[in-house]
Amino acid sequence: MKVRKPSFDYSSSLPRWCRTYPEYSQVVNVASLSLPYLEPYLNTVMRRAQGKLGPDHPLNADIALFCKQEAAHYLQHDAYNEALRKAGYARLPQFEERFRAHFERLLNEKSLKFNCAYSLGFESIGPIYAEWWFEQTDDVMAGADPSVVSLWKWHLAEEFEHRTVAFDVYQALFGSYAYRIKGLLAFLRDLREINGGAVKYLLSEDSKKMSAEEQAASRKRFAEIRQRESAFVRSRLVRIMSPFYSPHKSREPKGVAELLGKIDAAA
């Protein structure tokens, strides 16, 4: 595990950077929009956990690197989101405020146990999306803006790289299986609710510029890619929901090591 700071330029391609499924662009854009709120939250949770583990705990070095990788991620997503804001969706700040308030509330009102389980929920989904991006979406990403694809592949490769940290922290401090699932389900529910509203808004703005025929084609494409994505995610969630799940046993998606090696070589 190490910190990398590649740079990308998405200014020319946002918002609809995915050519085959332009609607999927907005799903991914909203995920990016949430990250400068979600990832600092993860770091706060991990630092609070570190405080509880004590200064000599063997996980401390991993937690420190984890936080540095997450910080590099949300800085890149900040730049991405800046390009998205320039594309002119008036209500974006409202959704960002919703993300901000949501994570602030979790930090202020929920226990460390809940926040660790919730963070682990997000961290368990990361490697699923690494597999999705690296192995399942070549056709989806054909002709898509390479800067956007590179940003996400770098981010998800590092999510795969640090996949064990939140799990090991949770196991060291709490370890309850039922509560891990509670955190995962709470995270998935919130993700669906908050992100879903923003995606709906962005797509409805896009559809204003379309003819009735284009709108129908757009709805069809969106339903198709969402169905494909959720079928894939559900198939992988089964493993995560098992009491025997451990990210230490996960298979690295094809292309992850190669991409990280390329970024290291270019640094």
Q: At what angle do helices 177-207 and 212-240 cross, to 10 degrees?
A: 170
Give whole-number Cα distances, 257 to 1, 37, 108, 207, in Å.
11, 28, 38, 39
Q: Find the shortest distance in angstroms from Cβ 123 to Fe ion.
A: 5
DSSP state of 132: I
Nearer to Fe ion, 47 or 91 (CB): 47
Give the up-direction half-sphere exposure of residue 54: CA atoms within 13 A in the CB hemisphere.
5
Q: Which of 181, 178, 39 is nearest to 124 (CA)?
A: 181
Closest to Fe ion by CB, 62 vs 70, is: 70
- Least distance from C-beta 34 to Fe ion, angstroms? 11
Q: Between 25 and 64, how does the x/- string for binding to Fe ion read (CB under 5 A)?
A: ----------------------------------------
Closest of 253, 43, 246 to residue 129, by C-alpha: 253
* CB nearer to Fe ion: pick between 87 and 233: 233
What's the longest Cα–Cα distance across the chain? 63
Is the CB of 159 or the CB of 229 nearer to Fe ion?
Answer: 159
Q: Specify the stretch interacting with Fe ion by CB under 5 A; choose among 65-73, 99-107, 178-186, 231-239.
A: 65-73
Which residues ranging from 77 to 136 are in contact with Fe ion (CB under 5 A)? Answer: none
Using the contact rule CB under 5 A, the part of the chain among 11-19, 72-80, 133-141, 172-180 near Fe ion is 72-80
Q: Which two tokens stand for residue 197?
A: 């509203």
Residue showing the smallest CB distance to Fe ion in the complex: 73
What's the closest the beta carbon of residue 73 comes to Fe ion, in angstroms?
4
Interface region with Fe ion, contact rule CB under 5 A, candidates 7-15, 71-79, 182-190, 242-250: 71-79
Q: Could you tell me the CA-to-CA distances from 124 to 1, 137, 160, 181, 188 in Å, in that order? A: 17, 20, 9, 11, 11
Angle at 5 between CA 258 and CA 33, to 5 degrees: 100
* Cα distance between residue 14 and residue 30, in whole Å: 12
Q: Applying CB under 5 A, does 73 fall inside the site for Fe ion?
A: yes
Q: How far is the CB of 140 from Fe ion (least distance, A)?
A: 21
The site string for Fe ion over 143-162 (x = CB under 5 A, - otherwise) reads: ----------------x---
Residues of this chain that bind Fe ion (CB under 5 A): 70, 73, 159
